[in-house]
Structure 1
Amino acid sequence: MKLALAILLNAALAVLFWRWLMAQLRVPRLGRWVLPTLLFKLLAWAAACWKPSSDAFHMQQFSSTMTRQLWERPGAWLQAMLGNEFHYSKKLYLVYHGYSNTFFTAKILSVLNLASYSSNWGNGLYLSLFCFVACWVLVRTVAQVFPQTPAGAALIGFMAWPMVVYWTAGITKESLVLGSAAGLVAIVVRWLYGNKAVSIISVIGFVLLAVLQFKMRYFFAALLFAALGGVVLMRLLELLGVTRRWLLITAFVAAIGVGTWVGSEVTLVFRTNRITLQLLRNYNQLSRESEGKPRIVFVEFRPTAESALRNAPQAAWEAISRPWFWEGGALYKVAGLENLVLLAVLAVAVVATLRGQPGRLPFALVMALLFYCLALAVLLGLSTPNLGTLNRYRAALLPFVLWLALQNDYAARVLRRFGL
């Protein structure tokens, strides 16, 4: 029964993916890149599953037990899926005092196990392909909706940047974080700038992806939702005839301020003192674990908004630029060399912007993405001093940074020479 169900599910998923892939191969300008980027993703998947991280191993083992419970006692499994406790036997149980994205990921894997037959390789493939498809949908959407912009900007950021591809392959939370974020942005871009009416399917997809994004990393989700809400507001103002950029920026900042206040009133999690205290706790814990290793160090960091703001520039800078290529072991050096390329791309983008050639993405969308990138860089820099962990978390940030940085006319000319 279990094997027959796994074969049936895999056959159905394979047919769906094959039909989707054949359709993407016929997409103008981008179709010829789908197979190379898919191969790159599959190589990263093989590397990730060949030597899974301790986190991936733990989630897979946990999910396998949950799947056994699904077959033996579906009611108990459903209760675990809806709560924060898992009870399999008197000696095997887990109780989470508060929310755990590790537990949530294990819940997802417990369902995927029905198709993968509880295989680490199978589940890693499903998550990798989910991220690949979601990112490709965003890349294709941008190329269709904004044909005047370089298609290669989003393609490189979401599909070809080595560390992004590596950290979103296999059984990783980042595959779900980036995949859901890319899907949400793609839907909103099509709603606001596309010519098609809002469909029920897109609304359902948006809700499901929003839930997934929030469940995986709610602080990341809060920043993304704020950015998407801001671009919706600015786009509506543009449609009403408001074209002065300072008015759009004022409306965007006001909306972020109101949203922050409402969020702090709805839940204590988003109170300023709670956020800064959690940032400091994460910073101190990871600093202790990183003793003797390259890490982000602040002169003084206290659990206050003033201290967080004072350290924000350093946090954002080091979240983008660290590690340097001379720091740490082999993986640090690879990431450091990649960061040198990233900084060169950002330098060109700054020069192009100062010379009045920033690119042709809509102003409202650029503002929203810029806010998301800066705010997330500050959040990561303040809370994640360990450079290894930071490099993994940045997989949700770097694609958007590169998408923006490669919009300028200088980069666009180079990309178009390569057919991008």
Structure 2
Amino acid sequence: MLFRLVLALGLNAGLLLLLWRWLPRVRQLPTVGKWVLPTLTLKLVATALAVWLMSEDARYFTLWATRMTDQLHQAPAQWLYMLGQDEFRWRSWKLIFHGFSNTLFLMKLLSVLNLASLGSAWLNGCYLSLFSFVSGWELVRKLRLRWPETPAGAGVGAFLCWPTVVYWTSGLTKESLLVGSGALVLALMMHLGYGGTQRRGWALASLVVVVGLHFKMRYFFAVVLFGVLAGLALVLVLQRLGTARSRLGQAIVMLGLLLLGAWAASEVSPVFRANKFTSQLQRNYTELLASSGQRPHLEYPRLQPTTESVLWHTPKAVFNTLSRPWPWEGGTLLYVVAGLENLLLLALLAVAVVATAQGRGGRLPFGVVLALLLYCVILAALLGLTTPNLGTLNRYRVTFLPFLVFLALQNDYTARLLRRVGL
């Protein structure tokens, strides 16, 4: 027991030292550096609230992670073997998953974090929250260094202040790792694609690790992000060869690569073929609709497992993902807050559309905007079609929401507003 306590103290001291050395680097950022400590405080408050109101899922993660840690202490060889399996067996306990389970992966990760936390859900929640917090600020830092002419507060407002993003990426949630790793993937891509030649080896090695983490957390969404970023990388390569400089050319390259990737995936595995995909989509929608009961939910009575039906319902699904619930739906405070946030989001998007039509959409490179917009629209469509329960939808959309808010805050009008509030 003494060894475990000493190990935990040493690990926590190391983590605190890393945080202490990292903070001055981001606090020196022009304009936004002064927001590091306030957003850290906000994150810690949200973490405390999330752990205090711990969900059944979080309790489930904690219980099995504790059992895995017990195996790590008493039979480390068996624990190492278990890391590469889709099941956990120890003493009388047995847990079996199939395929790419992010639940099992998170439990395995928590079993390691328990070495530092000694099984404390509060500390584990802090570790995951700090990961998403640091990742968000690293993206802000990269964007600030690469494009200082873009709104400095856009990344801060989207990844570190937007209410549901802050809440759902705090504590023992999959979203803390999912959104955090997604932000790091984008930050590293910006460094490699638009940065200089400094520390490219380190950036590539880090990208491999973060890509693996993002894929583990939600592989289907990760494939979409990797696809649009691969399209952006191809555009950059072609631009350096003297082509794909027009906006139309960049759009053709990105969409063409996505379509080619979808076709290749369907040839490799039947799972990705159109009929299989639409059937699975219809099945997910039907099952979740049946479990929604009397809670607020989305309905598509004419949705059929065909490509034509899915495409026909896609615009409505995207709008529902961005707008529902409305403030008057649900009858509880949480639904009211979520509804008010949705109204704010729609207002920001409307301003962004008007500003773009007037040629004042911002100074972020078109390729970056297009890649992130495609990512957001594709995920909004998938979530809107497969997740009828509005409470679940509000949580799942955090996967792409900060990227969308980031784009909506790029235009000249919102940039002026951000400057007025000190961002």
Give CA-to-partner distance per residue, 1:190-220, whole Å, 9 cap, x none.
1111223452221111111111111111111
Is 1:344–2:311 an aligned residue pair? no
Query: In 2, are the aligned partners of 1:190 and 1:196 still within 8 Å (CA)?
Result: no
Question: Structure 1: how far apart are the matches of 2:279 and 2:63?
Answer: 33
CA apart distance, 1:418: 2.5
Match of residue 20 from structure 1 = 22
Give CA-to-partner distance per residue, 1:65-108, whole Å, 9 cap, x none.
0000001111211121111011112x311122333111111011
Question: Structure 2: how far apart are the matches of 1:34 and 1:183?
Answer: 17
CA apart distance, 1:326: 0.4
Question: Structure 2: how far apart are the matches of 1:6 and 1:264?
Answer: 47
Helix, strand or coil at the partner of 2:232: helix
Instruction: Report matched runs for 1:163-174 at 5 Å.
Output: 163-174=164-175
Match of residue 77 from structure 1 = 79
Match of residue 376 from structure 1 = 379
Helix, strand or coil at the partner of 1:132: helix
CA apart distance, 1:347: 0.8
* Shift >4 Å, 4+ stretches: none
Match of residue 142 from structure 2 = 141
Is 1:244–2:251 an aligned residue pair? no
- The letter for the 1-side match of 2:256 is A
Question: Structure 2: how far apart are the matches of 1:87 and 1:380?
Answer: 34
Question: Structure 2: how far apart are the matches of 1:58 and 1:327?
Answer: 30
Helix, strand or coil at the partner of 1:87: strand
Query: In 2, are the aligned partners of 1:30 and 1:140 still within 8 Å (CA)?
Result: no
- The letter for the 1-side match of 2:380 is A
Give CA-to-partner distance per residue, 1:200-252, whole Å, 9 cap, x none.
22111111111111111111101100110011111222222222221221111
Question: Structure 1: how far apart are the matches of 2:8 and 2:78?
Answer: 22
Helix, strand or coil at the partner of 1:27: coil
Helix, strand or coil at the partner of 1:359: coil
Question: Structure 2: how far apart are the matches of 1:273 and 1:43?
Answer: 46
Question: Structure 2: how far apart are the matches of 1:124 and 1:274?
Answer: 38
CA apart distance, 1:6: 0.6
Match of residue 104 from structure 1 = 105
Give CA-to-partner distance per residue, 1:296-346, whole Å, 9 cap, x none.
111312222222111111110000111100011211111001111111111
Match of residue 153 from structure 2 = 152
- The letter for the 2-side match of 1:352 is A
Match of residue 291 from structure 2 = 289
Match of residue 121 from structure 1 = 122
Which residue of 300, 308, 311 maps to 1:309?
311
Is 1:299–2:301 an aligned residue pair? yes
Match of residue 32 from structure 2 = 30
CA apart distance, 1:133: 0.4
Question: Structure 1: how far apart are the matches of 2:335 and 2:291?
Answer: 17
**Bigger shift: 334-343 or 295-304?**
295-304
- The letter for the 2-side match of 1:412 is A
Q: How many residues align?
A: 419
- The letter for the 2-side match of 1:362 is P
Query: In 1, are the aligned partners of 2:231 and 2:258 still within 8 Å (CA)?
Result: yes
Which residue of 377, 390, 414 maps to 1:387?
390
Is 1:275–2:277 an aligned residue pair? yes
Runs (5+) with no aligned partner, structure 2: none
- The letter for the 2-side match of 1:371 is L
Aligned-residue Cα RMSD (Å) equals 1.2
Is 1:353–2:356 an aligned residue pair? yes
Query: In 1, are the aligned partners of 2:193 and 2:236 still within 8 Å (CA)?
Result: yes
Question: Structure 2: how far apart are the matches of 1:385 and 1:3?
Answer: 46
CA separation of 1:214/1:269 partners in 2, compared to 1, >3 Å: closer, same or farther?
farther
Helix, strand or coil at the partner of 1:93: strand
Q: Percent identity?
A: 51
Give CA-to-partner distance per residue, 1:34-89, whole Å, 9 cap, x none.
00111111111000011211111101111000000001111211121111011112
Question: Structure 2: how far apart are the matches of 1:19 and 1:296?
Answer: 47
Tell me the TM-score normalised to structure 1 length: 0.97
Question: Structure 2: how far apart are the matches of 1:198 and 1:249?
Answer: 30
Match of residue 184 from structure 1 = 185
Helix, strand or coil at the partner of 1:358: coil
**Bigger shift: 262-271 or 300-309?**
262-271
Instruction: Report matched runs for 1:58-73 at 5 Å.
Output: 58-73=60-75
Runs (5+) with no aligned partner, structure 1: none
Give CA-to-partner distance per residue, 1:159-191, whole Å, 9 cap, x none.
100110000000000001100100000000111
Question: Structure 1: how far apart are the matches of 2:182 and 2:405?
Answer: 15
Question: Structure 2: how far apart are the matches of 1:97 and 1:148?
Answer: 47
Query: In 1, are the aligned partners of 2:26 and 2:137 still within 8 Å (CA)?
Result: no
CA separation of 1:198/1:368 partners in 2, compared to 1, >3 Å: closer, same or farther?
farther
**Bigger shift: 344-353 or 279-288?**
279-288
Give CA-to-partner distance per residue, 1:335-363, whole Å, 9 cap, x none.
00111111111111111111121111101
Match of residue 258 from structure 1 = 260
Match of residue 218 from structure 1 = 219
